[in-house]
Structure 1
Amino acid sequence: MPTLDINCDMGESFGPWVMGQDLELLAHITSANIACGFHAGDPDVMLKTVRGAIAHGVAIGAHPGLPDLQGFGRRVMAMRPDEVYALVVYQVGALQAFARSQGGSLHHVKTHGALYNMTAKDPALAEAVAQAVHDIDPALPIYVANAAIAAASEKLGLPTVYEVYADRSYQDDATLTPRSQPHAMIEDVDQAIAQVKRMVKDGVVRALSGKEVPIRADTLCIHGDQPGAAVFARTIRAALEADGITIRST
């Protein structure tokens, strides 16, 4: 039977400002990517989210991003590989400490926003991220969805988990359609479910051009900051399980 992990970016609130439906989402996902205080989140939010994940039996992941709270980590910054290495070690180490302090453990790492997009375009930055994760724990998986970070992860022997998206359309090279372009987002839940089923069962996704593109689906990302995220997660999980797909963390 095919299996799929469902992950979600969360822990993105800051002080009194609340983003997302974290507590509701934890009931429907199997892995949490928790912001580490650079692009979003703060120590109180990190602790609360880690505790919530442990209470729901959800795997804990670090979600490092660029030091850009105002831009939510989605603005490109000029950074050297050694700077990227340091910021990843800093953030992953912090989340790892929160997990251990609460009797849990760190399950994976997934980079956020512009940092992730930068690794897709610059192999040296992808290698810096992978090296940072390897130096923290060589058994720690990286969630990947671009060729550069996948290659860097596999080169170092890190467990590599391939991520797909239900609410985003794809290009002919299996990359996501940029948010700035038309039809980048998939808002119809039935269309999203159909896309995920094909990726999991058939290993292909239909690009915007109509081309059938090979793809590997180990984990599905749900965006915690999208409107109605909890309902979307519950609906898509129920539909996948009804179709014989087992939902569990990697």
Structure 2
Amino acid sequence: MPSQFEKLEAHASHLLDGFLRLRERYAFLDPMLFSEEVANRRGSGRQARGFITLRHSLFLSCAQDIAKLALDKDPRTPSIRNLIESVQVQSTADELRDRFAVWVLPSIEVETDPEIIAALERIELGEQKARRLQFDNILTGAVRRWNELTTAPYINGFLTIRDKVTAHTEVRHVADKYQPIDIKDLGLKWSDVKRAIDEMQELVEALGMLIRNAGFAWDMLDEQLNSASKEFWLPSDAAA
């Protein structure tokens, strides 16, 4: 059976994978929402219906993933909520801080001069203290950003979409008849999807550092997704 920390590392890794898939889907949705050129070229005429259907589907998919990756409470789920709660447990935080701070230096292992060993150990202790402080700063920042995300005015809209529109279809009694929930009534704006993803990315990055002591090449991902999106939405004659 995997240890608690092996499970945490696996969940942090799967959270990153799920978030990358969300980022990839949103990369193709963004031009449909905010590019006048794309909307004019693909969202009118014979292509209009397909454009609207695809935009709606991508929006619902992104909204569902935002709610799932951020807010799921099932302990088997690699969500931001679960991992943030885990890293705040004092015993877990203490162990993760030690793992983050204490490294084994090969130079000390092979060195034989006692004075050099002592000097290297003093340097390492100083660096460990700095890494412990860095860990605490990352943790404090992650908790603050999590509280901001969960109290954002739009977050319940995504949760409603996940629970009552995509995962299940709920109908409400309105004006003497039953009808499905209208997304327009949830107070969501197109820009809320990007805002939520941007805030989630900071949390995914922080959790990767706290649990796996690993960062991610976000700039490279941005370049790859921007390039893929532009190639997809190019006019057909330009793509040829």
Q: TM-score, normalised by structure 1?
A: 0.24
Structure (1 or 2) with the larger CA radius of gyration = 2
Q: By percentage of residues, which structure has more helix? A: 2
Q: By percentage of residues, which structure has more strand? A: 1
Structure possessing the higher relative contact order (Cα contacts under 8 Å, 6 or more residues apart): 2
